Structure 1
Amino acid sequence: MTPSSPDYPQFNDADLQRHWRGRTQFTILQNGFGDGVQLLQAWLAWRSDTEAPGRLHYLVIDPQPPTREQLAQWPSALPEQLQQAWPPQVPGYHRLFLTQRKRQLVFTLINGDLLSSLPQLDARIDFFLLRSDQAWNSALLKWLSRLAAPQARVLAQGALPFGRREWQQAGFISENKSEDESNFMPALFSPRWETSSATSHIERKAIVIGAGLAGSAACESLAARGWQVTLIEQHAQAAQEASGNLAGVYMPAISRDDNPTARLTRAAFLFAQQVWARSGVFDRARQAGQACGVLQVARDAEQADAFEQAARHWNYPAGYAQWLSADEASARLGMATGSGWFFPTGGWLRPAIVCEAMLEACGDRVQRHFQQTASSLRRTDDTWQVCNVDGKMIAQAPVVILANGMHATRFAQADSLPLQAIRGQVSHLPASALPDLPFVLCGDGYLTGAVDGVISMGASYDQDDDPALRIDSHRGNLDKLGQLLRQPELAATLTSAANDMPLSGRVGFRCVSADRLPLIGSLPDDAALASAGEVQLRDVPRQPQLHGLLACASRGLIWAPLAAEILACHLEGEPAPLAKDLLGLLDPARFALKAHRHGRR
């Protein structure tokens, strides 16, 4: 990509300052990144203005954004913080936090074309910076009006194929009094029709139930925005149930057709690392884990062929994903293994340490109520009250977030959610029993790095509720070890040893939804939906300010931060970190809507 600043709208600091002053947040949208001059100029104007909003969102849509190496060579001298955080050149949304004390600039790069990306934006835009693009058409102009906040300003450069009349029909009026078609810009969004308010104003207080990865991430995301949060947990410490394993693996998923799971896990994997950096998870003193890389070994010849086909089709940047033949993978590992995907920035983490880091980052904005069991919810006026088993109120707030996995269904307002508990047994091996591995191995199972001399290996997927360790699950995990290392004799030796002296380990229960995707957002009101007619997902009646961060299954490490960001953006009226089609796949009301439609038929 070649820098082309002259093709981009020109503005000065005053253009921004007179629009954003008095606001708590402000959103700019630009199509095409160029050489970053516009972003740099807005950043400097925001940083130097003491009356600027505390949160500035800057969104860029670009089908071929620059690489990190290109950024370093360009004359615009973009800040080192942005260059270091710059994402790999892979499709989708990339959200970067660029901070200055208690204020935050949030940069979202949308790697995609204008025609498909603009209609998928879930945002209210205050300032448009538009340049010529062959994709511009009348349908996209209508999308601009749908995205525009009241009094949104538009600056355009180059040949946008719209005349004065078309702009005016879309609700934009020229600030230039000349009747010359070429002098329509700058313009303001001031339609003749009434526009709806972007957000409802609620007191910025919330109750989060559950202090695992999901609940801790929810606390961190809200506290970063200035919310006061009450955290209720039935155990004495955080991360004691599904998030309580000794170690967990973090990595994306890849598919030849880039299916929703691949798109979602890619976004979650890359975003989680932003939150971990913000929360100090990787501070050396924490010893939270290692970003040592992950090798996903193909389970058989068919999957190996699928991996290779996907690698040839997508040609991902080496810094994101590399396909390795069996010989290449074995050479890197130092012992025999199969072909597979290598993720250089993947690794393993201790979930309890991650939770601790996110909660510590909240400071005094989180009040902890541990060893208290939330058993019921009641709504009084505009406030939720969370009560214990005796009906005594533990806390109250206008917003409640259920992040307590399967326990969410104990509440009447959430008892119809299709959640299932899947038993997962992890086997703990002495680190001395295996060669020292340079990176994480996974496939049907996984091997993490050592925590206090213990390697985690697992995990089983069992359809029962037995909380005790079982030899059959240990054997199953050991069988997976043979697939990963291509050393059946090692697995046989360990299995024999396990028969003589049972391995240690841990049993946890993953919370899984009916379609294996998380539930993120406002919970449906089943009673109100029952009496509704034919409705779309966005129109499903909801429980007022009752939300879920549930069913993260085996990917809680990466799902939790993105889920928390999705919910926080919804509550604050900020641009969503995902496209609307993917947000719909995570909406907790999707199951209720499907049942409602089936019942009507």
Structure 2
Amino acid sequence: MTQRICRVVLDTDFGLGERFTAAWRERAQKGGLQSKLHYVAVVAQVPPAAQIADAQLRSLWPLNVPGLHRILLDDGRVTLDLLAGALDAVLPQIDARVDAFHVAAMPAPSATALARGLAKLAVQGASLRAEAPDEALVWALTAAGFSCQTIEGTRDVGAVYQSRRPQPAAPPEPVRRAIVIGAGLAGSSACQRLCANGWQVTLIERHAEPAQEASGNLAGIFMPLLSKDDNIPTRLSRAAYLFALREWQRLGGVGAAFDGQRCGVLQLARDAAHAKVQRDVVEAWNYPPEYARWLDAGAAGELLGAATPDGGWLFELGGWVRPSSLCEAMLLACGDHLFRVFCAEALDLRRADGEWQVRGRDGELVAQAPTVVLANGTGAVNVAQAAELPLAALRGQVTHLAAQDAPQLSLVVCREAYVTPPANGIVCAGATYDNDGDPSLRAASQLENLTRLAEIVPGDAVAALAASAPLAGRVGFRCAAPDRLPLAGALPDYPSAGRLERLRDVPRHPGLHCLLGYASRGLIWAPLMAELLVAQLENAPPPLEATLVEALDPGRFLLKQRRRSQ
């Protein structure tokens, strides 16, 4: 097995990326296919794209919003993580084994915390360069384990980290063979990211085609969440939405590599009180207008083509995608690294000789590998190891309207429901949230969708659809967790769990992982959750802050359960 070399750099003074660009070029000149560069850069705010010199980097440059922005370059051999925020706030959120540091001059009160934070991330022998540090920072670095000396001809200090404590051994190279169960958005994204990192993947799907269940709707909506307090769901959805846009661009683009449209999403306020909340949120966070902006009733009505009383949020970069076409595009990108096993159901997992054996209904061996990823929605609870996960199947009925009978919209519009622009002669409206398992179309659910549609787009013609439209659409079942956040990571071993205090105490099934609970936001969750899983499997820095990674940990429910009972 070829050993990969990945150099991890942390830069607290990114500027306009001159050092990153130099490191990127050096990797290209010397590295070869097995050499990777992972560059983590802290910025107070994201600089404007127009100031970024490199065209490839500029085309993927993120908007100036808080959080971690992962940019994949050179087919994933170079990763740039831009972490936007104050250094003292974001440094504890970084989880990485860093080989080299570049540190800007810091005021004395921050020196001790900074030095300790860097030492926590440093591998044995890590190098550090500090720009003209004051005496307090030099003393703090020395106390934290860095041996410092002035660099000749400069005021800068160079240092090497030599821990006084035994260092944990570097994690072993993973055996890059995996089985992914489920060919919807979760599973297809997992396959694409694993294969892009050189894994050989077997995809098991019980249907004859991908995206036949929750990912089978004609249109899925992509847009972020907003909130006044910038809570965890808001931060996660922001990171996921923007990462998905970058990844779809790398794949070839919405409407080009797969069906869809970046036509914008208008989220109308429910009433005057909600309109005030929407306006206050945008004013409080001062988002870039292409990310989110507030439209008053007049401007919103102009976009809608009909009067609306209270205005709403406009997400210019949002839109709709046909999930099945996206799944096919991602699976196609896997090339020879992917082996498809369709019309086969994975019902039994057994661990033997360091590998998982996946067996079907009659006990036959379907596939075998050291790593398994459950990405089959609520079907995961049919596997014994995942049976105790608190997942619910939420019924959603979407109504299909003939384009000539439906509102002619230029963008997606939503309030209590959503409606899409016409595509292939169909307008989609919906979707219901039901707590039953009825897979059939029913008139009551269609009436609910069309009643809500009439509230979004007023007018006699739309109101008449409730009585005149033929029963048409699709029923799917969303897989949802109690907190409505995804589950991404190693699967907890419920029977082996005793007293638990922290997530790291939760026992895990070796080599068994999951990507579940995407509910109605699978389009934006899928790319980032897959990237997070691959980072965990590759022992690489995650694409999210540590607090957000914890919020997604599949062990969080077991930990809460044990804490309540202890």
Match of 1:216 in 2: 188
Q: How does 1:371-410 map to 2 (within 5 A)?
A: 371-410=343-382
Q: Deviations over 1:538-590 (max 9, x none)?
A: 22111111111000000000001110000000111111111111111110000
Are 1:64 and 2:73 matched, yes or no?
no
Pair 52,327 (structure 1): closer, same or farther in 2 beyond 3 Å: same
Contact 1:27–1:125 (CA<8 Å) still a contact in 2? yes
Match of 2:449 in 1: 477
Structure 2 SS opposite 1:136: helix
Offset of residue 281 of structure 1: 4.7
Are 1:325 and 2:293 matched, yes or no?
no
- Aligned equivalent of 2:269, options 277, 295, 298: 298
Pair 273,54 (structure 1): closer, same or farther in 2 beyond 3 Å: farther
Are 1:92 and 2:58 matched, yes or no?
no
Q: Deviations over 1:239-266 (max 9, x none)?
A: 0000000111100011111111111100
Structure 1 SS opposite 2:46: coil
User: TM-score normalized by structure 2?
Assistant: 0.95
- Aligned equivalent of 2:241, options 263, 269, 291: 269
CA distance in 1, matches of 2:502, 2:411: 46
Offset of residue 420 of structure 1: 0.3
CA distance in 2, matches of 1:161, 1:385: 59
- Aligned equivalent of 2:229, options 245, 248, 257: 257
Offset of residue 268 of structure 1: 0.5
Match of 1:509 in 2: 477
Offset of residue 433 of structure 1: 1.5
Aligned partner letter, 1:88: L
Contact 1:136–1:161 (CA<8 Å) still a contact in 2? no
In angstroms, what is the RMSD of aligned CA positions? 2.0
Are 1:587 and 2:553 matched, yes or no?
yes
Moved over 6 A (4+): 175-178
Contact 1:248–1:448 (CA<8 Å) still a contact in 2? no
Q: How does 1:126-137 map to 2 (within 5 A)?
A: 126-134=99-107, 136-137=110-111
CA distance in 2, matches of 1:246, 1:329: 26
Are 1:167 and 2:141 matched, yes or no?
yes
CA distance in 2, matches of 1:63, 1:452: 45
Match of 1:35 in 2: 16
Pair 283,54 (structure 1): closer, same or farther in 2 beyond 3 Å: farther
Contact 2:266–2:312 (CA<8 Å) still a contact in 1? yes
Are 1:82 and 2:45 matched, yes or no?
no
Are 1:493 and 2:459 matched, yes or no?
no
Q: Deviations over 1:137-187 (max 9, x none)?
A: 312311111111232111110225545553233222236699x9x978321
Offset of residue 341 of structure 1: 0.7
Pair 405,163 (structure 1): closer, same or farther in 2 beyond 3 Å: closer
Percent of aligned pairs with the same amino acid: 46
Match of 1:120 in 2: 93
Pair 86,332 (structure 1): closer, same or farther in 2 beyond 3 Å: same
Structure 1 SS opposite 2:157: coil
Offset of residue 53 of structure 1: 5.0
Q: How does 1:137-536 map to 2 (within 5 A)?
A: 137-160=111-134, 162=136, 164-174=138-148, 185-282=157-254, 284=256, 286=257, 288-337=259-308, 338-485=310-457, 487-498=458-469, 502-530=470-498, 533-536=499-502
CA distance in 1, matches of 2:448, 2:236: 29
CA distance in 1, matches of 2:44, 2:455: 39
Offset of residue 26 of structure 1: 1.4
Structure 1 SS opposite 2:276: helix
CA distance in 1, matches of 2:304, 2:151: 69
Offset of residue 488 of structure 1: 4.9
Q: Which moved more, 1:250-259 or 1:51-60?
A: 51-60
Offset of residue 63 of structure 1: 1.5
Contact 1:247–1:451 (CA<8 Å) still a contact in 2? no
CA distance in 2, matches of 1:303, 1:103: 42
Extract unaligned runs of 5+ from structure 2: none
Aligned partner letter, 1:122: D
Q: Deviations over 1:66-93 (max 9, x none)?
A: 1123x15xxxxx2111112111111111
Aligned partner letter, 1:154: L
Aligned partner letter, 1:153: S
Contact 1:426–1:456 (CA<8 Å) still a contact in 2? yes
Match of 1:573 in 2: 539
CA distance in 2, matches of 1:122, 1:112: 16
Offset of residue 378 of structure 1: 0.3
Aligned partner letter, 2:337: R
Structure 2 SS opposite 1:137: helix
Are 1:541 and 2:500 matched, yes or no?
no
CA distance in 2, matches of 1:332, 1:229: 45
Aligned partner letter, 1:504: A
Aligned partner letter, 2:427: I
Structure 2 SS opposite 1:323: strand
Offset of residue 435 of structure 1: 3.7
CA distance in 2, matches of 1:106, 1:569: 11
Aligned partner letter, 2:237: T
Q: Which moved more, 1:150-159 or 1:249-258?
A: 150-159
User: TM-score normalized by structure 1?
Assistant: 0.90
Q: Deviations over 1:197-243 (max 9, x none)?
A: 34333311110000000000000111111010010000000000000
Extract unaligned runs of 5+ from structure 1: 1-20, 73-77
Aligned partner letter, 2:259: A
Contact 1:124–1:198 (CA<8 Å) still a contact in 2? no
Structure 2 SS opposite 1:169: helix
Offset of residue 51 of structure 1: 4.5
CA distance in 1, matches of 2:151, 2:42: 31
Q: Deviations over 1:84-118 (max 9, x none)?
A: 2111111111111121xx56211111111101100
Aligned partner letter, 2:66: P
